[in-house]
Amino acid sequence: MSEFSLKALPLAGLFSVQHKRFEDQRGHFARLFCEGSLSAFGSEFHIRQINHSCTREKGSVRGLHYQNANAPEAKLITCLRGEVWDVAVDLRPDSETFLHWHAEHLKAGDGRSLLIPAGFAHGFQTLSEDAELLYLHSADYAPEHEGGLSVNDPRLAIAWPLPVNNLSARDSSHPALDQHFAGVRL
């Protein structure tokens, strides 16, 4: 049996990853990443960068961030402490779900991760105090190729579970989409 099972989500290429947990009298063990086991993702996922965040205040939102076509990246997101409402927005203009979003409730100990393909924006809202996330990225961060979407964009109409608060200055400055937004063509 594989150490993972992948569940396809409503947006093509987006997966919920369930990690198999091994338990005994000492505690538990779970593999969070295995390149070979994630081959069902549809393309190779090489880890180029690992990030860790801790967001202290419940209701805080980080995002929505993406890398454009000059520096595309996939992400594997795992909640290590607390709970988050993790959001992915499809920015691929040729996709049937262009500008649609999907969210997953991730919480520490649930054995789940969210596998987000290149061409998506990502953000999350904390549902608890001191929420910690581990991000595995398939590409190096390239700030000159980064973009962001407004978390309150009426065109996206993301139904955040709590009032949005504690946005960074950078995240609160992301513009709403206009008719010229072409997405991320990979």
My answer on whether omega of the bond before 64 falls inside 30° of 0, hence cis, is yes
Which active-site residues does the annotation give? 65, 135
Burial bucket for residue 141 (CB in 10 Å: 0-12, 13-18, 19+): middle
* Cα–Cα distance for residue pair 95/48, rounded to 1 Å: 26
Which tokens belong to 95? Answer: 């996709």
* Cα–Cα distance for residue pair 42/116, rounded to 1 Å: 12
Cα dist. 22→1, 100, 106, 111, 130 in Å?
12, 36, 20, 11, 26
Residue among 137, 115, 121 nearest 5 (CA): 115
Residue 154's φ and ψ, nearest 5 degrees, are: -65, -25
> Which pLDDT score is estimated for 2?
64
pLDDT digits (tens, 9 = 90+) for 67-106: 999 999 999 999 999 999 999 999 999 999 999 999 999 9
> Which pLDDT score is estimated for 151?
98
Residue 149's φ and ψ, nearest 5 degrees, are: -120, 150
Residue among 76, 54, 73 nearest 65 (CA): 73
* Cα–Cα distance for residue pair 30/5, rounded to 1 Å: 12
pLDDT digits (tens, 9 = 90+) for 149-182: 999 999 999 999 999 999 999 999 999 999 999 9
* Cα–Cα distance for residue pair 18/39, rounded to 1 Å: 15
pTM beyond 0.75: yes
SS3 string, 130-152, reads CEEEEEEECCCCCHHHEEECCCC
State percent of the chain over pLDDT 90.
78
> Which pLDDT score is estimated for 4?
76
Mean local confidence (pLDDT), 24-45: 74
Task: Report the mean per-residue pLDDT for the chain.
Answer: 92
- 80 sits in the region (left: phi over 0; alpha: psi -120 to 50; else beta) called alpha
